[in-house]
Amino acid sequence: MIISMSVENWMSFRRKATLSMVASKERQHGGRLAYLKKYQTRVLPVATIYGGNASGKTNLFKALNFARMLVIKGTQPEGIIPVEPFRLDPACARQPSRFGFELLIQDTIYEFSFAATRTAIEEEKLVHISGTSEKVLYHRKGGKPNFHHSFRENMFLQFAFQGTRDNQLFLTNSVNQKVEHFKPVYDWFKNTLDMVAPDSRFEPFEQFLQEDHPLYPVMNDILSQLDTGITHLGGEDVLLENLGLPESFMMKLREEIPEGSTVRLLLEPFGDRIVITRKGGDLLAKKLVSYHQDREGREIKFEIRHESDGTRRVIDLVPAFLELMSPASTKVFVIDEIDRSLHSLLTRQLLERYLASRSTEARSQLLFTTHDALLMDQKLFRRDEMWVAERDQQGNSSLFSLSEYKDIRFDKDIRKSYLQGRLGGIPRIISSDPAACRDKAPLHAGEKR
């Protein structure tokens, strides 16, 4: 789980912006909050980020994705670190970009932070947080390590640090060197955090091809209830040679796919979804297809490319939501523009299903950005689950939780206030009409008009 995350001097975020998933004192929808008994803390299952175009929502997504890729893939020996500092203030180009995360991994909270320029990691820190104290496992600054005293006699750990390049995270290199002490944090970025961009069309879908898969009936039931017109999805056998894949790629498939493993392909320009598996030494390919019912009740097969863009988006998102709704899941999905190509009612139905599955024992989380003001509804979300991204006239973005606005009652229709600009986070439309150019600056948290 994400407890909190922060970013500073990154793209539109000049000043430090923090998104906290720790619940406030409000009681609304309290039964779905994860309760961490060890820390006496309640954690939110969802964070919804609203805002106009160019308000900074996607930049927050990009910051999180950058940190994930830097952790799990690292950099080349002579490569630059692809940081994107705030560009509208020349002084920011010379300052490091800073990232911080508080993560719940199993039953322990870790705080991981780092500061990076294009050429070097200026600072890096990992803290183990117990219920009553904090233990700095390591703190790297100025090219020197400061390990917790329990590690200071560990010569292999010292050796691993000496082998860490200036442009590389010690966390990444320590795992590459088979140091196990900090691997849970690395594994969280690699296996728990899942990023879904607006044009992502490649969530796991092979369960749609297997009628004996335990989630097969559930997924098809959801597709039917969401009024896609699809009765069910299935797989059609195709010849690998007919897919038009480059010969070099075909050779790689033949040489590198082990028995029983699966490779997913998304083939352009039609968006065909292909699953290739090796069984009995042979490579077998299946293509995802959909079935509709005609007026006489007969099933008619459709290619996925014949489905609407919205239906294909639903097909891509349903596996993610089913993973989130699993009682044992610890996944964190971050979806940029969740409403892309989806009707508001479809998006709401997916969110309602997910939130209805949450309990004090649940550990999965969903963070998403949206332009859809119809989702700004206190019957669906708590105030501390709703955030607004706003860009000021200097180009700097800020994040505000609606729980910071003291005059918002739990039963208030906040959508109207948002669309009137009273909460910020909407486009500033420049008008040539002088009467329309009055001061309509949004309220700051806690203010009243």
State pLDDT tens for residues 43-74. Answer: 999 999 998 888 999 999 999 999 999 999 99
Is residue 27 a contact partner of residue 380, using CB atoms and an 8 Å limit?
A: no
Rounded distance between C-alpha atoms, residue 419 and residue 409, angstroms: 17
Residue spans of the domains in the chain: they are 2-197+336-436, 206-309
Q: Pull the structure tokens for residue 394.
A: 């200097």
Cβ neighbours, 10 Å, residue 72: 17
pTM (whole model) above 0.85: yes
Query: Which letter does DSSP use for residue 236 in this model?
Result: E
Partnered with residue 112 across adjacent β-strands are 101, 126
In the numeric block, the tokens 């335990």 are attached to 214
Positions in the chain whose pLDDT score sits under 70: 201-207, 407, 409-411, 422, 424-449
Cite the beta strand spans of 28-184 per DSSP E. Answer: 34-36, 41-43, 46-50, 97-105, 108-116, 121-129, 134-141, 144-147
Rounded distance between C-alpha atoms, residue 134 and residue 102, angstroms: 12
In the numeric block, the tokens 């700095």 are attached to 136
Is residue 387 a contact partner of residue 19, using CB atoms and an 8 Å limit?
A: yes
Q: Which residues, at least 6 apart from 216, have a Cβ–Cβ distance to it below 8 Å? A: 207, 208, 210
Element (H, E) at 159: helix 155-162
Rounded distance between C-alpha atoms, residue 100 and residue 52, angstroms: 25
pLDDT at 446 (0 to 100):
46
Partnered with residue 140 across adjacent β-strands are 124, 145
pLDDT in tens, 397-426: 999 999 887 767 666 777 777 777 767 666
